[in-house]
């Protein structure tokens, strides 16, 4: 467009109005911000959950690696673990039928492990006593845990807690707590609590639910499934997280070893 026949003043007014109308109105800006807010509200929880799951996967794999290395180093130092002085944790029952427990052997094993976790500042039974509620993977309240000084615990500098240690014959079951769940007062098996078994004769630590363990892998569909009630639900999730590097069992219920390892 040319302005040869328009006065200088008219030309200025035209250009000023054109620039003024080139922007957005307040209503348009508010609508746009509203849309952005709705999208953010819908996507942020998903992104945060994904980040937490990825963080848990990394922490659990790290904890497993630390435990494996410490166990092998302890064997080199103290000899074959099958020869370690051990006794079963449950030594009998009292007159009321309650289990009589002795954690002394488990405490010794934990001491051996801690001694070989170099640079991780492991603390064996040095932290204050805590109490937390344990829940199964399906969300059912399981029990209130109040570890005392007789139950061995290893605290690592990064906040990882290794606890319990129930010895039966040639193995010891224990679990790892992540995400600081014990400080929050609520821990969920398969989400915050992950189980392992130390095999003394085989000299290895296996994550619960390992596909190499026929019983564990068979139990996966029932004991790592958010939609099924079971007092042990969540205990078979450990191997899945370590080997498949995901926690998709929190989002779908049709996963299975060698068949479907991701929701999508």
pLDDT of residue 251: 94
More confident call, 70 vs 36: 70
Average pLDDT, the chain: 83
pLDDT of residue 16: 67
* Beta strand extents in the chain (DSSP E only): 90-93, 99-101, 123-124, 132-135, 141-145, 153-155, 161-168, 171-177, 186-188, 193-199, 204-207
User: What phi and psi values does residue 207 have, to the nearest 5 degrees?
Assistant: -75, 140
Strands 132-135 and 204-207: unpaired
Convert 212-230 to b/e letters by CB count within 10 Å (16 or more is b).
ebeebbebbbebbbbeeeb
Nearest to 49 by CA among 179, 156, 138: 179
Residue 257 in domain = no
Range of the domain at 187: 9-250
pLDDT of residue 134: 94
pLDDT of residue 96: 83
Q: Which band of pLDDT confidence, cut at 50, 70 and 90, is reported for residue 112?
A: very high
Percent of the chain with pLDDT over 70: 82
pLDDT digits over 85-96, tens only? 778 888 888 888
Residue 179 in domain = yes
Range from 36-40, 80-84, 146-150, 164-168 carrying the lowest mean pLDDT: 146-150
CA atoms within 13 A on the CB side of 21: 6
Q: Model pTM greater than 0.85? A: no
Range from 25-29, 132-136, 170-174, 206-210 carrying the lowest mean pLDDT: 25-29
Q: Which band of pLDDT confidence, cut at 50, 70 and 90, is reported for residue 151?
A: confident
Question: Hey, is 103 helix, strand or coil?
Answer: coil
More confident call, 28 vs 183: 183
Question: Distance between CA 76 and CA 203 in Å, rounded?
Answer: 11
pLDDT of residue 18: 60
Residue 198 in domain = yes
Q: Which residue has the tokens 């929190």?
A: 250
Residue 154 in domain = yes
pLDDT of residue 142: 92
Q: Is the pLDDT of residue 79 over 80?
A: yes
Mean of pLDDT values over 148-158: 78
Residue 256 in domain = no
Mean of pLDDT values over 235-244: 95
Mean of pLDDT values over 28-55: 75
User: What phi and psi values does residue 109 have, to the nearest 5 degrees?
Assistant: -60, -45
* Total domains present in the chain: 1
Question: Hey, is 127 helix, strand or coil?
Answer: coil
Nearest to 182 by CA among 197, 206, 164: 164
Q: Is the pLDDT of residue 110 over 80?
A: yes
Residue 1 in domain = no
Whether the CB-CB separation of 35 and 225 falls below 8 Å is answered with no
Q: Which band of pLDDT confidence, cut at 50, 70 and 90, is reported for residue 238?
A: very high
Question: Distance between CA 151 and CA 76 in Å, rounded?
Answer: 25
Residue 260 in domain = no
- Angle of CA points 100, 78, 159, to nearest 5°: 65
Residue 138 in domain = yes
Question: Distance between CA 235 and CA 58 in Å, rounded?
Answer: 19
CA dihedral 192, 197, 198, 200 (to 10 degrees): 170
Nearest to 140 by CA among 214, 216, 232: 232
Mean of pLDDT values over 211-218: 58
């Amino acid at each position: 467009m040319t302005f040869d026949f328009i006065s200088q003043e008219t030309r200025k007014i035209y250009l000023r109005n054109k620039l003024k109308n080139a922007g957005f109105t307040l209503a348009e800006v508010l609508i746009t911000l509203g849309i952005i807010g709705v999208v953010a509200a819908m996507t942020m929880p998903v992104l945060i959950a994904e980040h937490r799951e990825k963080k848990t996967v990394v922490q659990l794999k790290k904890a497993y690696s630390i435990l494996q290395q410490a166990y092998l180093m302890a064997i080199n130092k103290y000899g074959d673990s099958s020869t370690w002085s051990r006794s079963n944790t449950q030594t009998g029952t009292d007159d009321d039928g309650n289990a009589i427990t002795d954690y002394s052997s488990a405490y010794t094993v934990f001491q051996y492990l801690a001694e070989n976790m170099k640079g991780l500042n492991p603390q064996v039974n040095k932290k204050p006593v805590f109490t937390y509620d344990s829940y199964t993977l399906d969300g059912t309240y399981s029990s209130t845990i109040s570890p005392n000084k007789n139950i061995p615990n290893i605290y690592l500098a990064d906040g990882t807690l290794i606890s319990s240690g129930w010895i039966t014959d040639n193995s010891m079951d224990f679990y790892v707590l992540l995400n600081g769940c014990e400080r929050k007062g609520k821990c969920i098996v398969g989400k915050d609590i992950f189980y392992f078994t130390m095999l003394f004769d085989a000299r290895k630590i296996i994550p619960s639910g390992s596909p190499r363990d026929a019983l564990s892998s068979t139990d996966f569909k029932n004991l790592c499934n958010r939609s099924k009630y079971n007092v042990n639900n969540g205990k078979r999730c450990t191997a899945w997280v370590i080997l498949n590097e995901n926690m998709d069992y929190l989002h779908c219920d049709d996963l299975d070893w060698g068949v479907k390892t991701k929701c999508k």
